[in-house]
Homo-oligomer: A and B are copies of this chain.
């Protein structure tokens, strides 16, 4: 019996790619996965950890007989990788990506893929400040949400297969409209990463005694330790929505500063009260 996802290729065996391989193989140890990467070193780690079976540096070779291709490269490489995959994979292959920005990638896919489209944009909301195949785990997606593109142009079977893949990795699938994805993620993820880094930089300007660092600082800056290259790419990719979000953030900070310099107690209190209500609304809906 061949397994459901026979013929999987995972291009990019970082945290997300390696974890997906581990999760799929945990579910079905007989599944054979081809890992494609830029360096043998990380591919070897992924293979040693059991995330992939065969490895290759050549995208064309890796996807030539694949039914399902996962593009888990850095954000900035998704588009050129998709072009390579489309040229080399079987015409009925289902293709997905895992990048944190979606607008440019999905717009490109709309232009270059035939109809109905068998490339499905995905964004698993399961990152971490850790990275690399050495940190991959079969449980990374367990209990997380994976946003899966919803669009009339998509091949229905292809989308169903992609949803089944994420569900078998332990994620809950949620429909995503790629036209609003990037604007919202700028607010819920990209700007928080910038702020975490900025707060760390501000604290780092001082010699801070270890005992003066509490849980508030630890939590607000945890994601500052994420991978710099990854976040460079995400920010470049989503620079207009992120710039708009940072302007809005600065406006709130200016408003706070005005209350502060005026010693406006009610203004400060209302700021924190509105912040608490907004947080509750966004997180606990």
**Cα separation A192 to B191 with both chains bound (whole Å):** 14
The smallest C-beta distance from A207 to any residue of chain B, in angstroms, reads 9
The smallest C-beta distance from A179 to any residue of chain B, in angstroms, reads 13
Q: Knowing A218-B283, A257-B246 touch, does A268 contact B236 (C-beta < 8 A)?
A: yes
Contacting pair A271 B197 (CB below 8 A): yes
A145 interface residue, CB < 8 Å from B? Answer: yes
A111 neighbours in B (Cβ, 8 Å): none
From the candidates B196, B260, B272, name the one contacting A275 in the complex (CB within 8 A): B196
The smallest C-beta distance from A272 to any residue of chain B, in angstroms, reads 4
A185 interface residue, CB < 8 Å from B? Answer: yes
A153 interface residue, CB < 8 Å from B? Answer: no
Which chain B residue lies CB-closest to A222? B219
Binding site for B on A (CB under 8 A): 125-128, 145, 147, 174, 181, 183-185, 187-189, 191-206, 208-229, 231-232, 235-236, 239, 242-243, 245-246, 248-250, 252-253, 256-257, 260-261, 263, 265, 268-283, 285
Contacting pair A197 B275 (CB below 8 A): yes
Contacting pair B211 A275 (CB below 8 A): no
From the candidates B147, B196, B211, B229, name the one contacting A212 in the complex (CB within 8 A): B147
Which chain B residue lies CB-closest to A230? B272
Contacting pair B187 A228 (CB below 8 A): no
Sample of 19 A–B contacts (CB below 8 Å): A126-B214, A127-B216, A183-B206, A184-B212, A187-B205, A189-B214, A192-B220, A196-B216, A197-B272, A199-B249, A201-B252, A201-B278, A204-B277, A216-B223, A221-B279, A224-B272, A224-B276, A228-B276, A246-B260
**Cα separation A283 to B146 with both chains bound (whole Å):** 31
Copies of this chain in the oligomer = 2
Contacting pair A279 B225 (CB below 8 A): yes
A263 neighbours in B (Cβ, 8 Å): 236, 239
Contacting pair B209 A276 (CB below 8 A): no
The smallest C-beta distance from A143 to any residue of chain B, in angstroms, reads 11
**Cα separation A225 to B239 with both chains bound (whole Å):** 29
The smallest C-beta distance from A23 to any residue of chain B, in angstroms, reads 18
From the candidates B203, B232, B273, B285, name the one contacting A187 in the complex (CB within 8 A): B203
Contacting pair B184 A282 (CB below 8 A): no
Contacting pair A232 B272 (CB below 8 A): yes
Contacting pair A232 B269 (CB below 8 A): yes
The smallest C-beta distance from A85 to any residue of chain B, in angstroms, reads 24
**Cα separation A224 to B46 with both chains bound (whole Å):** 39
